[in-house]
């Protein structure tokens, strides 16, 4: 089973698009993916060139790219040439053709930011993962960095970053940034008592360690990094210091505000384009084989039971949460997590887990029609 079945490259035949094309080739070779090429011609009144002439030239250039891909042994699923607003056509056809990844160049640099308008709008409006390629990208990915804040979005981004690192043979840095809640409320110059600050840092480290335990780091090199400061500043600093080739960041979905990508932190980081950036919103980049996923769920559930038997409740919850992240309908994990929370004295959390298990059971089983004899 292909982990990335289909990659779409949006091209305007510029050097930025050429960089994106080279990146897509690297991934297609690594993951044995098919390629889709799309070129969108903006509607410009008074251009003085007929549509037919533009279509012929665009088709010629797409044919050249298709021939290049075939020479490299990469199958081309489709080439698409359309007129209209680029972001609308790119997203429309990515959904129609069921692609797993959209690859775009950074586009024409704006006054303040390296990220172009079309690239930013594709990131904002696409539910499909988007890889924006930095100008002058060096034709390899050796260093990947993935910032996490323990949210479901960062779980998704880390899971995909791990599989990218394994497949590409890249080193992975998992970064979290601690920012004092108190100082963010009262201003950066305000400092809490030293003992309170130490406790907050300790708590953040504890959650970070628990978050990391929910993933499998095997068959590749990686490190975890803990920094204190303003998130976007520390992420950018870590990218520069580690000379990262690819940043993988998650998103909780559309915010309703066009200017927002995944929140102020990601907006600031992505617009700087410190390296190529992969943003994941609602979908995974990697399409995980079902058999392997089921085996992983079963393995983590067994580990959770072992920790539960040993009265190691925090560790047990970590494994049960892993199972639920992979399959929210996995009733046994909800039930066992309720046991662990109740043992720790967290009645509300325990009740919530039990209610969820009961709700799923009713939805899945009790609404089915009874068997009728004929």
pLDDT band at 264 (very low <50, low <70, confident <90, very high): low
So what's the pLDDT on residue 69? 97
User: Of residues 303 and 214, which shows the higher confidence score?
Assistant: 303
Measuring CA to CA, which residue among 226, 196, 222, 197 is closest to residue 209? 226
pLDDT score recorded for residue 270:
82
Q: In this model, does residue 1 exceed pLDDT 50?
A: no
Mean pLDDT over all residues of the chain? 84
Residue 114 pLDDT grade (very low, low, confident, very high; cuts 50, 70, 90) = low
Q: Model confidence over 51-66: pLDDT tens digits? A: 889 999 999 999 999 9
More reliable by pLDDT, 325 or 320: 320
Domains 6-103 and 143-280 share a fold: yes
Instruction: Outline where DSSP puts E strands in 148-199.
Output: 171-178
CA nearest neighbour of 100 among 218, 1, 244: 1
Taking residues 82-108, report their average pLDDT: 91
E strands in the chain: 6-10, 34-41, 76-83, 101-105, 130-133, 143-147, 171-178, 222-228, 246-250, 276-280
Range scoring the smallest mean pLDDT among 189-198, 224-233, 321-330: 189-198
Q: What is the pLDDT of residue 2?
A: 61
Mean pLDDT, rounded, for 235-261: 73
Distance CA 374, CA 369 (A): 14
Each residue's pLDDT tens digit, 148-174: 988 878 888 998 999 999 999 999 999
CATH match for 6-103 among 3.90.1150.10, 1.10.150.120, 3.40.190.10, 3.40.50.620: 3.40.50.620
Q: Which pLDDT does position 214 carry in this prediction?
A: 77
The CATH fold of domain 290-366? 1.25.40
**Strand 130-133 relative to strand 276-280, pairing:** antiparallel
The architecture (CATH level 2) of 143-280 comes to 3-Layer(aba) Sandwich (3.40)
Q: Does residue 186 carry a pLDDT above 90?
A: no
- pLDDT recorded at residue 151: 81
Out of 34-38, 270-274, 339-343, which region has the weakest mean confidence (pLDDT)? Answer: 270-274
The helix/strand count (H/E) of the chain reads as 13, 10
The tokens describing 348, both together, are 């509300």
Mean pLDDT of the 223-237 span: 92
Write the burial class of residue 213 (CB in 10 Å: 0-12 exposed, 13-18 middle, 19+ buried): middle
Task: State residue 367's pLDDT score.
Answer: 43
Domain coordinates in residue numbering, the chain: 6-103, 143-280, 290-366
Beta strands 276-280 and 222-228: pairing type? unpaired
216-222 average pLDDT score: 89
């Amino acid at each position: 089973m292909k982990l990335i079945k289909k990659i779409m490259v949006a091209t305007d035949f510029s050097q930025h698009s050429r960089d994106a094309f080279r990146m897509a080739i690297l991934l297609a070779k690594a993951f044995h993916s098919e390629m889709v090429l799309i070129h969108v011609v903006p509607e410009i009144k008074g251009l003085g060139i007929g549509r037919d002439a533009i279509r012929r030239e665009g088709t010629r250039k797409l044919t050249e790219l298709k021939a290049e891909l075939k020479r490299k042994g990469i199958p081309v699923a489709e080439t698409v040439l359309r007129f209209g607003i680029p972001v609308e056509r790119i997203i429309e056809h990515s959904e129609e053709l069921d692609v797993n990844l959209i690859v775009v160049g950074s586009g024409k640099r704006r006054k303040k930011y390296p990220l172009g308008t079309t690239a930013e709008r594709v990131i904002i409006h696409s539910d499909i993962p988007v890889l924006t390629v930095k100008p002058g990208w060096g034709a390899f990915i050796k260093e990947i960095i993935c910032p996490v804040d323990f949210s479901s979005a960062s779980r998704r981004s880390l899971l995909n970053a791990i599989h990218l690192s394994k497949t590409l043979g890249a080193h992975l840095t998992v970064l979290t940034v601690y920012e004092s809640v108190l100082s963010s409320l009262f201003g950066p110059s305000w400092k809490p008592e030293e003992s309170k600050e130490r406790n907050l840092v300790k708590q953040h480290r504890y959650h970070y360690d628990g978050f990391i335990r929910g993933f499998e780091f095997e068959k590749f090199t990686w490190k975890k990094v803990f920094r204190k400061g303003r998130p976007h500043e520390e992420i950018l600093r870590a990218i520069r210091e580690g000379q990262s080739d690819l940043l993988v960041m998650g998103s909780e979905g559309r915010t309703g505000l066009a200017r927002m990508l995944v929140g102020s932190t990601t907006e600031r980081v992505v617009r700087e384009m410190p390296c190529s950036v992969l943003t994941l919103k609602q979908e995974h980049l990697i399409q995980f084989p079902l058999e392997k996923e089921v085996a992983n769920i079963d393995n983590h559930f067994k580990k959770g039971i072992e920790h539960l038997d040993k009265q190691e409740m925090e560790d047990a919850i970590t494994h049960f949460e892993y199972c639920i992240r992979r399959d929210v309908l996995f009733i046994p994990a909800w039930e066992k997590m309720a046991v662990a929370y109740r043992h720790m004295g967290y009645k509300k959390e325990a009740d919530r887990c039990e209610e969820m298990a009961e709700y799923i059971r009713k939805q899945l089983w009790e609404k089915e029609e009874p068997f009728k004899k004929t």
